[in-house]
Amino acid sequence: MTTQRVRKAVLPVAGLGTRFLPATKTMPKEMLTVVDKPLIQYAVEEAFEAGIEEVIFVTGRGKVVLEDHFDHAFELEATLESRGKTDELARLRAAMPGAGQISSVRQQAPLGLGHAVWCARELIGNEPFAVMLPDDLVLTPPGQGVMKQLVDAHADVGGNVVAVMDVPRADTNKYGILDVGADDARPGGLAEVKGLVEKPAPEDAPSTLSIIGRYVLEPELFELLETQQKGAGNEIQLTDSMARRIGQSPFHGLRYEGTRYDCGSKLGFLQANVAYALARGADNDPDLGANLAAWLKQLPL
Ligand code: G1P
């Protein structure tokens, strides 16, 4: 099947980060660091790795530092240069997107994820697009990020494809949950989506297969978002509009390969820091993982 390539990604980053106060009083939660890199940079790198060419931030007031992070920092770069810190300088420059690869629109009021995505409609136009929630961080082998896995699956089956994982039944009220049709339950397998419910109570959940923050969606979704009534949490939910596309075109959940950390929670954020340090270390500190492992072992747990 021929499908249109995914070239653009929407990153909703207008949230207030209330769960991380006071850290996020003046700093966007997407600037919280896992080891030495802010969450926003992980998401942008994952998008580019998947072949995406343009990343659109849906931002809010007080979040301009997110755009600054992907621009030159002249004073810093000049100082590094004059001090001969060539490795640091090279790493900063290598992480810079090309001209025009990052744009942003404002979500003026916190009306929900569905509304945030709808705010990017003019920049997306009439083509399939990705949505990435930077709070969800997924550790995968290098070069096999979740967005790449989704884009590859979309190239095969088209339509809408969302990243999914099984969660404990007690947690279904935190996620968009699938009603599953034909299912390949192997890692990397696809589950046909028959229904979708946002944050159902455990006793009402049609399954325990939940959406994590990576999506490839069809542009037809924007028309539905425009008239979408408020749903769970009294917010305009992306899940509710997605549910209205079921039956119109192929719709699958991808059991992606990787370990997901919910960096919107303190526990998930701390786990991500430990897991990333152990698995990847740091560019300028190759011994970080081994040193951390040794220290963890001697903790009086
Ligand atoms: C959002 C979506 C939900 C999804 C979750 C993944 O919820 O609405 O469907 O399962 O992200 O992290 P939020 O975490 O913003 O409440």
Counting ligand 1 atoms within 8 A of each CB, the residue from 133, 196, 261 with the most, and so the one to mutate, is 133
Q: How many CB atoms lie within 10 A of CB 162?
A: 29
Do residues 68 and 59 touch, judged by C-beta distance below 8 A?
no
Q: What is the pLDDT at residue 221?
A: 96
Atom in ligand 1 nearest the alpha carbon of residue 176: 9
Q: Distance, CA 176 to ligand 1 centroid (Å)?
A: 6
CA-CA-CA-CA dihedral for 211, 212, 213, 218, to nearest 10: -30
Domain edges within the chain: 8-283
* The total number of residues written for the chain in this structure: 301
Query: How many angstroms is it from 239 CA to the middle of ligand 1?
Result: 9
* Amino acid 24: pLDDT: 93
Supply the DSSP string of 240-258, one letter for each residue: HHHHTTBTTB-EEEEE-SS
- E strands, 53-120, are 54-59, 102-106
Question: In the prediction, which pLDDT does 281 show?
Answer: 87
pLDDT in tens, the chain (301 residues): 678 999 999 999 999 889 999 999 999 999 999 999 999 999 999 999 999 999 999 999 989 999 999 999 999 999 999 999 999 999 999 999 999 999 999 999 999 999 999 999 999 999 999 999 999 999 999 999 999 999 999 999 999 999 999 999 999 999 999 999 999 888 999 999 999 999 999 999 999 999 999 999 999 999 999 999 999 999 999 999 999 999 999 999 999 999 999 999 999 999 999 999 999 888 888 899 999 999 999 998 7
Q: Which pLDDT value is given to residue 175?
A: 97
CA neighbor of 56 nearest in space, from 106, 94, 108: 106
The Cα–Cα gap between 266 and 67 comes to 25
CA neighbor of 161 nearest in space, from 245, 237, 224 = 245
CA of 283 to the centre of ligand 1 (A): 31
Residue with CA closest to ligand 1 atom 10: 175
**Residue of minimum CA distance from atom 16 in ligand 1:** 174
Third-level CATH fold of 8-283: Spore Coat Polysaccharide Biosynthesis Protein SpsA; Chain A (3.90.550)
Rounded to an integer, what distance in angstroms lies between the CA atom of residue 60 and that of residue 140? Answer: 30
The confidence score (pLDDT) of residue 1 equals 62
Which residue has a Cα nearest atom 15 of ligand 1? 113
Residues with CB under 6 A from ligand 1: 113, 133, 136, 175-176, 198, 210-213, 237-239
Please tell me the predicted confidence (pLDDT) of residue 97. 96
Residue 262 alpha carbon, nearest atom of ligand 1: 12
Instruction: Give residue 94's identity as a one-letter amino acid code.
Output: A
Looking at this protein, which amino acid is placed at residue 9? A
